[in-house]
Structure 1
Amino acid sequence: MRVWRFLQRKIENQQTVEAFYELSVDIQKVRKLKGWVLHQFPAYTKEVAALLEDMGASGSIIAHVLAVHPEAILCNPEQMQTQMELWMSVCPNQRELIGIIEKFPASFFTSSNHHDNQRNNISYFQSLNLNKRIITKLMASAPQSFSRPVEQNQLMVSTLQQAYQELGGEEANMKIWLQKLLSQNPFVFLKSPEVLKQNLVFLRDSGFSTAELLHLLSKLKGFVTELNPDSMRRSLNFSQEIIGCSEAELRHIILKCPALLYYPDSTLAERFKGLLSTGISMSQIIATPTILELTTQIVNYRIQRLTARGYDVRTGSLDVLNGTKKDFEMSFGKLQLRRERPLFNPVAPLKVED
C-alpha cells in the first residue's frame, strides 16, 4: 500500500494532464508553481470545467482559473454544487459569480469542511441586513472569515457596534456605517476585538475627542484593527518631529490624513524626503497631508507630467497631485484644457452697442 502511494506521488495523473491540454491550460505554469496537483488521484478536471461552462464561463476563463488555481480539480462534484448554492444565495446571478471565481478562485474552491461555517456566517450577515454585494465581497476577499465559527464574527461585530455607539454614532446610521467599514476592509474580522479596544484607548489618551475617534474609526478603513499602540506612537512621534508642530496641530493633520497613524516611520521618512526634495514645502504638505498616501515614485511621475505642462508644484496647490490615478487624470485633463482653451475667439463677431 505504501509503495502504491509513493508511486502515485511520482506519476502524473495522465487524465488530468490530457484534460488540461484539451482545455488549453498553461500546464507548464502549473508544473512550475503547483506541480503536486498533477499527481493527485482522483481529480475532477472535466467536472470543474463543465460546472464553469454551465455557469457561462468562456474557454479562456476556464483555462485561466485552472492555471492559477489548479487545486480546483480536487473538489468533487458534490462539493462544487454545495459551493455554488452557497454563493448563489448572496450573488445576484451566475455571470457575477463567474467574475468572482475568475478573480478569486481559491475563495470558491474551498474545503467541504467549512461548508457549515460558511452557511452559518452567510445567514448571520444576512440577519444584519447587510447588502448582498457586501457579503459577496467579504466571501471573495476574506474567505477565512466565513470558514471560521460564526461566534467569532458575531463578537467582532458587537465590538464594532459598541464602539460606534459609545463614540456617539447614531443608531439609524449604524447599518450604513458598518457596511462601509466592511466594504473598505474585509479583513477586519481576522483581527482580535481586544486590539480594537486597545487602539481606541490609546487614541483617546493621545488627546482625540469622542467625535474625532468616531471619525477615525470610520475613515481608517478598518486599519484601526491592524495597528497597535507601539506602532502608532512611533509614527506620531516621528511625524510631530519632522513637521515641527504641536500635538494639537498634529491631531488636526491626522484627522485630514489618518494614514499618518498606520504608516511606519521608515515609510513616512522616505515620503517626506521625497516630497521635500522636489521643492515642495512643509507648509504645502501640511495643507494637503493626504499627499503622503502616495508613493515617492507616483509623486515624481505626476510631477514630471505636470512640469511638462508648465505647472509648478512648488507654487501651486498639491490637490492636482492627489488622489487615485483616475482623480489625477481628471485634474490633469482640466489643467490641460484651461491652458489650451483660448481666452477669446478671434473670428467671433464683436458685440457692439446699437
Structure 2
Amino acid sequence: MLRLVTTSLCLYCQRAQVTPLLLTRPHSVIFQEENQLAVNALYDLSVDISKVRKLKGWVLRQSAVYVSETAALLRDMGASGPVIARVLELHPEAILCNPDQMEAQKKLWMSVCASQKDLVGIIEKFPASFFTSSSDHDNQKANIAFFQTLHLNKRIISKLMASAPHSFSRPVKQNEEMIQTLQKTYLDLGGKEDNMKIWLQKLLTQNPYVLLKLPNALHDNLAFLRNVGFTSDELLRLLSKLKGFVTELNPESMRLTLSYSEETLGCTDAELRQIVLQCPALLYYSVPILADRFKGLLAAGVSMEQIMETPTVLELTTQIVQYRIQKLRSFGYDVRSGSLEVLNGTKKDFEMSYGKLRLRQERPLFNPVAPLRTED
C-alpha cells in the first residue's frame, strides 16, 4: 500500500495550496524532487512516465499519493491493466485522491450507472469527471437527485455527469433555474407538455453544456429571432434543431450573419428564414467562414440557386466540399447540373451516396429483347 501521508481531503483540490519546495541558491533554483515511490509504482503499472512528466509533472512531486489504492479500485471494478495505465496517463491527478473519497465517488456513480463495467468505460473516457474534488460531492449528489425528479433515465444522467462535470459540481439551484427556463420556453413556444420530457432529454444529450449557459442568453437570442420574423412554431423548430446551441449565440453576431447571407444569396427576408430553418447552423457561422464556403462552392461552378435549394451544404468545410466534388467528377457526376444533396452528410453518408451513384453509373442496362446466353 503506497500511502506516504494520511489526509482526509483529495490533494487534487488542494493543488492551489500546495507549492513546490524551492531552495534558493546563487544563480540557481532547485525544485522539489519527484516522489520516487510514486514514480516506481506507476512504472510497475506500465504508465508512460514521460507523458506524465510532460503534461502533469507537478503530480509526481507530491508527497501524499495513492497509486496502489487507485489501481486497486479500478481493478476491482473490472478495469484491465492497459485501461488503468491509460487512465493514469490521461489524468495522473487520480493518484492524489484518497481512498475514502474514491469509494464515495464510486457509490455515487453506481447510483446512475447500470454496472461497474459501464462505470469503467466512463472513467476511461472521462477520468477527470470521476476523480473530482471531495468538496463537489454534496453538489453532485443534489444534482443527481434533481435530474431524477425530471424522470431522466440513469444512462442520460451518467452521460451528463461524464461529459459536463462542471454542471454537477455547482449548486443545484443554478441547474434548476436553467432547466425551468428551457421548459417554460418550450411550452411558451407551443410545445406539448406530453412531449417535453423527450425534447428536454434530447437537448441535454446533444448539448449538455447548455446547462452552463445563462438563462438571459436564451431569452435575448429568441427575442432577436422573433424580431426578424420567426414565428413561435419556427422558433421551437430552431430551438430543437440547434440542440441548445442557441444559448451560445448573441444578437449582434446573428445580425451580421443574416445580413451577409441575405445579401450574398440575393434572397428576401422570408426566403432567408426558410433557408435558416433548413440549415440552422447558418446562424452561428461567422461572416469570414461563410464567405470562404460560398467562394469555394462558386469556384466549383455551383450556382446560388443550388445553394438555396440545399443550404445544408454550407455546413461542410471548403476542403471537404472540394474533395467530394472531385471524387464525384472522377466517374462523371457533375454537381453543376445535379443535386447538391449528394455532397451532404457525414463521411459515411457521403460514401454510401457515392457508392450508389457509382453503382448506378456502372451497372449495364438490361435488354429484354437480347437472347440469353446458354452453355452448349
- The TM-score with structure 1 as length reference comes to 0.94
Alignment match, 2:62: 40
Query: Which runs of no fewer than 5 residues in structure 1 stay unpaired?
Result: none
Task: Name 2:112's counterpart in structure 1.
Answer: 90
Distance (whole Å) between structure 2 residues aligned to residue 230 and residue 3 of structure 1: 44
How does 1:196-235 map onto structure 2 within 5 Å?
196-235=218-257
SS at match of 1:10: coil
CA distance in structure 1 between the partners assigned to 2:51 and 2:19 by the alignment: 29
User: Which residue pairs with 2:101 in the alignment?
Assistant: 79
173-182 or 87-96, which deviates more: 87-96
Q: Secondary structure at the match of 2:243?
A: coil
- Deviations along 1:310-335, one digit per CA (max 9) or x if unpaired, are 22111111111101122112112212
Establish whether residue 22 from structure 1 lines up as the match of residue 22 from structure 2: no
Deviation at 1:341, TM superposition (A): 2.6
For the pair 1:258 / 2:260, whether they are aligned, the reply is: no
Is it true that 1:167 corresponds to 2:189 in the alignment? yes
Q: Read off the aligned partner of 1:209 and give its amino acid letter.
A: T
1:285 to 283, 289, 307: 307
Size of the aligned set, in residue pairs, is 349
**Other-structure match for 2:80:** 58
Residue 162 of structure 2 is aligned to residue 140 of structure 1: yes
1:237-316 → structure 2 map (5 Å cutoff): 237-316=259-338
User: Residue 343 of structure 1: CA displacement?
Assistant: 2.1
Alignment of 1:98-177 (within 5 A): 98-177=120-199
Q: How far, CA to CA, are the matches of 1:345 and 1:180 in structure 2? A: 51
Within 2, Cα distance between the matches of 1:16 and 1:324? 45
Deviation for aligned residue 1:3: 11
User: What is the SS of the residue equivalent to 1:251?
Assistant: helix
1:339 deviates by 2.4
User: For 2:282 and 2:83, how far apart are their aligned partners in 1?
Assistant: 40
Cα separation, partners in 2 of 1:289 and 1:3, compared to 1, 3 Å: closer
* 8 Å contact from structure 2 (residues 213, 247) kept in 1: yes
Aligned pair in 2 of structure 1 residues 59, 246: CA closer, same or farther (>3 Å)? same
1:206-252 CA distance string (max 9 Å, x none)? 10011001101111111111111111111111111111111111001
Q: What is the deviation of 1:267? A: 1.1
Residue 45 of structure 1 deviates from its aligned partner by 1.2
Q: Which has the higher helix share?
A: 1
Q: 1:283 and 1:47 mapped to 2: Cα distance?
A: 64
2:203 is matched with: 181
- Native 8 Å contact 1:117 1:149 kept in 2: yes
Q: How big is the shift at 1:9?
A: 5.6
Whether 1:193 and 2:215 are equivalent positions in the alignment is yes
Deviations 1:45-76 (A, max 9, x none): 11111111111111111111111111111111
The C-alpha deviation readout for 1:133-184, integer Å capped at 9, x for no partner, is 2211111111000000001000001100110011000010000000011111
Q: Distance in 2 between matches of 1:50 and 1:284?
A: 60
**Which one scores higher on RCO, CA 8 angstroms, separation ≥ 6?**
2
* Contact 1:9–1:40 (Cα < 8 Å) also in 2: no
2:11 match:
none
d(CA) in 2 for partners of 1:102 and 1:160? Answer: 32
Match of 1:332 in 2: 354
Moved over 3 A (4+): 2-9
3-state DSSP of counterpart to 2:358: helix
Contact 1:9-1:39 within 8 A present in 2 as well: no
User: Between the two proteins, what is the percent identity of the paired residues?
Assistant: 69
Contact 2:20 2:32 in 1 (8 A): no
1-side partners of 2:301 and 2:363: how far apart? 29
| Aligned residue identity for 1:256 | Q
CA distance in 2 between partners of 1:123 and 1:6 (Å): 45
Give unmatched runs, 5+ long, in structure 2: 1-17, 24-29
Amino acid of the structure 1 residue aligned with 2:57 = G
Query: CA shift at 1:338, angstroms?
Result: 1.7
Query: Offset at 1:6?
Result: 4.1
Q: 1:9 to 1:253 in 2, by over 3 A?
A: same
